[in-house]
Structure 1
């Protein structure tokens, strides 16, 4: 089979497995759909299997294709390492980096490092997706290059920084803490602000970054108490709009909250429970530690973001 296998077909198979669509794969590969279809035909001949079946919802991988996926990923990583250049020139690079980010980190980080990236490496691109439940697994499999996610420094949290797997490297970019948001004429503003007042109202919760609950809830649970969550959402902008029009209280990261609440009629109050500030971490697999282009990108992010963040803890 090696005589028939063109190594250039392997990235095509990887992207087809990820996208399960010839159209989407062609867009990512910057090829025509007919070119990708021809390469899929060649892959079917090489592996003597259909690999994908057409359905109303796109391409469905065959059992053979699914069995190839883990070995394919490992093979491509080894090939990339084998062919990795000894030098890296940002101005000449055409590399596409894959990143997952918690949505609240875009505004905190991208305005600071992207201008330098575009100036230094005009051919480099970032394929960014919102942090998902499987992001940590994808980092561990080296499916993505980098991720920016939330972790806690408070010992009471199961999401403590020390629980990050040993195979992952990380650097703290920003520390942040929780604030409570409510409409400007909320009745709680006329009361003494304490834990009892906080818990006497219903709450609006936004789940993001693969985190279904907050440190605040972990601490309340340890004390045998809990919030009354009226609505769970995944979109902060919609949550802010609902908070503005109701008596629901919304807990949110302070940096993001203060940046976006200018567009809403909202008031902020501190958390009624003392919490150690959490952090946004830049994470990557140690497999990429000596990858020169990867090192260039992460050092660029760190060097541009860290000095730009004003301490707020």
Structure 2
């Protein structure tokens, strides 16, 4: 092969998949105008692309004849390998097919709070139906949660959006709005007609607390919102990492508990409880929403995407249902604690 007919190695390094597909199409069509039309190119752009390929391969590749272009001997030898290269590239970048029905896997999920039973009721049903050999393993959140996610000890976590490391992936699920959970015929419900009580009225009653963090200062919504004042802290009779344990005590007493609205409304379908907005004197917490968190290496995992989709669907379903409840209550002029429809 003469120097002018040798492949141009530098040009070959810059060949793209689109150029290879152009060459394969031209071998099939035999007409530059037809290949340009197939690939959405102008005739001049197609001509320039053929010139670059001729230079890269060190061969004319096609010779003109009366009805179009005829492949050279080099092009005829090249064509089968060209098709295989394009097919291999397509496989390299294609998403593998995924069928949850064939999946055998355990997913570890960390979550805490009043919404967990509602989440599990939805997720377990769908997982059992769509992927019979998948097992969900539930854990409480701990102070090691970020390390556990990065190390692969946890697949997913539901957490407030505050302080999530930027290296982790997140999906917003629902907003955080803290209020007061109490029995539906509590004196505060009657006194304030289902609206926000005053801070002084709130502080007349002993409280229960749901523990949400291993961090001492942020250990509960109660401590975050009412602070470390001893007189207020001493009003908390009991705290628990599993707030559902306290539901019956709330239902049968005048105790109060500061909780997120989403979880409180879920509880109303199972217990005779109401939810009131916070006193105007108290701010909402720094965290604005609950997010789903996972590590970057799982972002494109089809099985993980499937499970994240189930949790996303649960969150959207719940938000839509809450919106319907609130519209219904507003239309009826009812207090927020007076309806038993939770979701």
Query: What TM bracket, shorter-length normalisation?
Result: 0.5 to 0.7
Matched, 1:174 2:174: yes
The alpha-carbon deviation at position 308 of structure 1 amounts to 4.7
Is 1:164 paired with 2:170? no
User: How many Å separate the matches in 1 of 2:184 and 2:303?
Assistant: 48
Pairing of 1:1-313 with structure 2 (within 5 A): 86-151=96-161, 160=162, 163-184=163-184, 186-189=186-189, 191=191, 193-208=197-212, 210=214, 212-215=218-221, 217-221=223-227, 226-227=232-233, 228-272=235-279, 273-275=282-284, 278-303=288-313, 305-310=315-320
Paired with 1:183 and 1:300, the residues of 2 have a C-alpha distance of 32
C-alpha displacement at 1:107, in angstroms? 3.2
Shift of 1:200: 3.1
Question: What is the CA-CA distance between 1:242 and the residue it aligns to?
Answer: 1.9
Which deviations, in whole Å up to 9, do the C-alpha atoms of 1:212-257 show, x marking residues without a partner?
5345643444999945322222332331222233332212222322
How far is 1:280 from its partner?
2.2
RMSD, aligned α-carbons? 3.3
The number of residues matched between the two structures is: 219
CA distance in 2, matches of 1:189, 1:120: 43
The 1:216/1:288 distance shift into structure 2, 3 A limit, reads same
1:151-206: CA deviations, max 9, x gaps?
4xxxxxxxx2xx21122111011224222133455444565620121123321112
1:264–1:290: structure 2 CA closer, same or farther, 3 Å change rule? Answer: closer
1:120-171 Cα deviation digits (max 9, x unpaired): 32222222223333323211222111112234xxxxxxxx2xx211221110
**1:247 aligned counterpart, secondary structure:** coil
Deviation for aligned residue 1:288: 1.4
SS in 1 for 2:114: helix
Is the contact made by 1:150 and 1:280 (CA closer than 8 Å) also made in structure 2? Answer: yes
Q: Are residues 122 and 150 of structure 1, via their aligned partners in 2, closer, same or farther at CA, if it must alter by over 3 Å?
A: same
**CA distance in 1 between partners of 2:304 and 2:201 (Å):** 49
User: 5+ residue gaps in structure 2?
Assistant: 1-94, 327-343
Could you say which residue in structure 2 is the equivalent of 1:51? none
Query: Residues of 2 paired with 1:303 and 1:268: CA distance?
Result: 25
Q: Flag the structure with larger Rg.
A: 2
Kept after mapping to 1: 8 A contact 2:169/2:295: yes
Stretches (4+) displaced over 6 A: 222-225
Where does the alignment leave 5 or more consecutive residues of structure 1 unmatched?
A: 1-84, 152-159
Q: 1: CA distance between counterparts of 2:127 and 2:165?
A: 29
- Distance in 2 between the 1:187 and 1:240 partners? 17
Contact 2:114–2:266 (Cα < 8 Å) also in 1 = no
CA contact (8 A) 2:222 2:258 kept: no
Aligned counterparts of 1:190 and 1:108: Cα–Cα separation in 2 = 28
The change in CA–CA distance for 1:105 and 1:209 in structure 2 (over 3 A counts) is farther
